[in-house]
A and B are shown apart, each in its own frame.
Chain A
């Protein structure tokens, strides 16, 4: 099909460049500079979609972000699929492939329209829930088909070949919108030397100037725009962002801009110099001041069948003709409430097509544009409106009659005008979305018949965005508001002289939203308010009758302004209708809140570079490469990658985790193993009050710990609950090295600073994290001393270097601090060296360890070994509700310390002192093959009906190759008095494991092995 609606001349398209594209499987041609919408209209494509709920045929209504119908699915391949693209915002490129978002099996023959008809003449709000909810069990079945039929596009099933990123921006002034007002504002600020960002969502900057009839300084307005954009582009302090939508206004002038960088070039980003640029980018802008020059959206009138393809808003008609050289029909009826919209008829007439009539709701319109229309002999029907469109898949006529808008009545006999296009204008709504995102409620302005934005400090609105709709006024306002913004920044602006605009005198508009019909609203042909969400005037009326009086409730009941539409075309009309039904004024009804995002943002741009291997930081220890090379399976511990276990190949087969852990555990208990413990938090503590500070934050005593000694400590919050544990070593009288759990490191550091800075600033002590400075290697097992003695100058004699001592010396020729502490219950040495030398020491240990079969083990074996010893892991065996007393660790509680340490007072609160609190115990399954599930509940009577009385739960559970049995740690009410009792752990499916309550120390209860 040729471009039947393309004018021979005019528009800003490049006629020398013809582009082919495919829509719903058919090939068409357009030109460079077209949007998909203008190209479809040029080709006479009326039907672009099916509506969301009623599956009615829909066409293009608008020319910009406010388009409710022309949502398309983009992409010729699976990987390139992009849903919910507005055809009005998608630049045409060679090979563009799109299809309608809704419509199943296709947009011409739509199954769901039957449901629309089955639902009767009118599907009320809540139709699907009211109709398909019985029987409840069937909803899942219904839903599958309803969703398939309705649909709102689909995500690709393959990986996105494109990449996306973020750019953090800062500026003095962010100007949103590069129409006349925004351009003058940006120019004012730029010339004052401010850092300026100017963004505009369209393909080209210039806004309304690109299709304006007016002259600026006696030249076409677009020429002036080009000149200003040129000057701004030269300025280093100005960032120009075309194709960039300001989508969200967040706290404190943080605005997210979504830049479509290559969407106009192809469906995936084409490479430039061998590099593939990011397809789109999120600019995260922190602005000093923000100026909103976002313009206005024209409101369509609400009349019967106003959704049939061929119904457009008046301004869109002008845009298509003047900017794209496309006239979207042959015979136009224009229905208006104001002068400004007359431009559509003038443009249509100049395009050489027939204007059947202008239907003006006012009695005696008298502005300059009205005079021009009269002078051309265009028929003007006064005091009237289009009541109803005729036609099915394209408008075929308009029923027109005189009306009394105030009384909401048709007063005259309807006349049927034959036409294929109805354009309407009910006035202009300032685009207040961004201002609303700040939480400021807009206010109704009777003068301009629209909501104007309320503004929080630092936000300015100018031009049409605050109801200053005339060109000269908008230009002056842009300069004035920019100067105000600069003044707020402490910068002075020499006011610039805006270009001279010939003011066109316009008459007063009248208020008209829903056009009355001969029939009552509930029985009249459907009058659509929100076409994207298929909300009709009748739905709003019914909602008010059903008792929804708050506009926020009406919105939620009817879905008006939901989703990607955010009420751009429909909200004001909807509020006006609600006001009429409730007998209130629009300001009394108020407005709903617009929310981010203004238009949909692709997930890629939100995620940016934070995906795949960069999704989250991976923290490596200094020994990471060795672990990788030696086949470690890794476990994520916070952001750390820790070796989980080291499977070996046995008879050509890789061990399972259970097999590897069994082997590693036995090696530690019978030979020697080695663990990379570098992830433990390490805090250097210096100062004369360091010891006093430790005494306050730990539950136990620190007054007498001598240099060379190490002590285990428990750290509580002031509610008495354990928060972390670890060992602290005395390096010097005023110098300590604290260790924390891997996951608790940052939190403990902040905790120490909190108390020091806010409660005890008088204590002379400093904390510094040295977690990353030291690499820590734990050599443990009966052969640990033999191995270490081969490569150290430290005297390892058990009388010289006792359990809970630390010594320094050299290990593998590297200076080291060696700590004799044990998390396995075996003889153990924790070797700390400066991390840059760690790999050498580690490898040397393995060279000498060969003869002892030195076995590397991971976190899983570490867990098993410590659990066999009843050693807790804070955060696994505790959960913020466990006190040191609950754990039975009375030996680590300094009841008689002089200072009331953190957590002490809480231990005597009635709830904390209860005798039946959950206490830490061991559990031994009667069947040794059973490994209980961590988190499983424990009961006395396995036959008690649900809900059972629960005594506690399993906190840790493993199979022990040393015990040749499963075993577990648990917290159980009054557990210490239940030793030897048989309890049950019920499992899903009705089975229950019988367990015996035992001491949590399963191996070496006297702790002799770590002292050898």
Chain B
């Protein structure tokens, strides 16, 4: 049973508090009506299934109910990181050891501004 760090509760919780929601970073096309059937089919049905590093969307269902992403090794089950919506992963198949601070500069952008604010409804 996994032990997952919820980036919102900021602590580790047992897997039974979470639901997996499939591959991460699947964005809904901006304008569905202009998609070809192939493009729409790819969005709906086609997912990666790598052996190794994989990014997954999870939700802390029995907890803060927030969605977040996990970078997980599908072979060893090691969880390399968890990160909030709108953030980019530091670890990836291309960067299994993690991006350097410079490369990963984008990671924390979301902490500072827009995305979190939007979610938390502090715009007003």
Interface residues of A (CB under 8 A from B): 250-254, 286, 439, 456-457, 687, 718-719, 750, 753-754, 757-759, 761-762, 764, 766, 900, 904-906, 909-910
Contacts and interface: CB of A to CB of B under 8 A. Distances in A.
Task: Kindly state the interface size class of chain B when it binds its partner.
Answer: 35 or more
A761 B124 CA distance: 14
B5 to A, nearest CB: 10
A254 B12 CA distance: 13
A286 B3 contact: yes
Contacts of A904: 32
B66 interface: yes
A719 B37 CA distance: 12
A749 to B, nearest CB: 8
Interface string B54-78: 0001010100011100000000111
B1 to A, nearest CB: 5
Contacts of A764: 121, 123-124
Contacts of B28: 718, 759
A905 B33 contact: yes
A757 B35 CA distance: 23
B115 A761 contact: yes
Nearest to A913: B37
Given A753-B65, A909-B40, A251 B2 contact: yes
A795 B59 CA distance: 45
Contact of B1 (A250, A900, A909): A250
A905 B21 contact: no
A87 B55 CA distance: 49
B37 A252 contact: no
A758 B67 contact: yes
A754 B21 contact: yes
Given A762-B118, A764-B121, A905-B40, A900 B32 contact: yes
Given A754-B59, A909-B41, A910-B37, A766 B3 contact: no
A32 B20 CA distance: 52
A286 B37 contact: no
A896 B40 CA distance: 19
Interface in B94-124: 115, 118-119, 121, 123-124
B14 interface: yes
A456 B32 contact: no
Given A251-B1, A718-B28, A905-B40, 12 more contacts: A439-B76, A457-B78, A750-B19, A753-B59, A753-B67, A759-B27, A761-B119, A764-B121, A900-B31, A900-B32, A905-B32, A905-B35
The 3 A-B pairs with the shortest beta carbon distances in the complex, nearest first, are: A905-B32, A252-B3, A761-B118
A420 to B, nearest CB: 50
A909 B35 CA distance: 11
Contacts of B43: 718
Interface residues of B, dominant DSSP: mixed
Interface of B: 1-3, 14-15, 19, 21, 27-28, 31-33, 35, 37, 40-41, 43-45, 57, 59, 61, 65-67, 76-79, 85-86, 115, 118-119, 121, 123-124
B9 to A, nearest CB: 15
A942 B118 CA distance: 60
Contacts of B124: 764
16 contacts: A251-B3, A251-B15, A254-B1, A286-B14, A439-B76, A457-B78, A718-B44, A753-B59, A754-B21, A757-B66, A757-B119, A759-B27, A761-B119, A905-B35, A905-B40, A909-B41
Given A252-B1, A750-B59, A766 B77 contact: no
Contacts of A687: 121
Contacts of B1: 250-252, 254
A753 B121 CA distance: 13
A60 B32 CA distance: 72
Contacts of B37: 909-910
Contacts of A254: 1, 3
Contacts of A456: 76, 78
A754 B28 CA distance: 12
A687 B67 CA distance: 20
| B14, B37, B59, B79 pick with most chain A CB within 10 angstroms | B37
Given A251-B77, A719-B44, A900-B31, A757 B3 contact: no
Nearest to B37: A909
A269 B73 CA distance: 45
B86 to A, nearest CB: 8
A3 B79 CA distance: 57
Nearest to B118: A761
Contacts of B27: 759
Nearest to A439: B76
Contacts of A910: 37
Contact of B121 (A252, A750, A766, A900): A766
Contacts of A766: 121
Contacts of B65: 750, 753
B76 A900 contact: no
A757 B64 CA distance: 12
Nearest to B84: A757
A252 B13 CA distance: 11
A761 B122 CA distance: 11
| A251, A687, A753 pick with most chain B CB within 10 angstroms | A251
| A254, A456, A905 pick with most chain B CB within 10 angstroms | A905
Contacts of B123: 764
A253 B12 CA distance: 13
Nearest to B77: A251
Contacts of B21: 754
B97 to A, nearest CB: 14
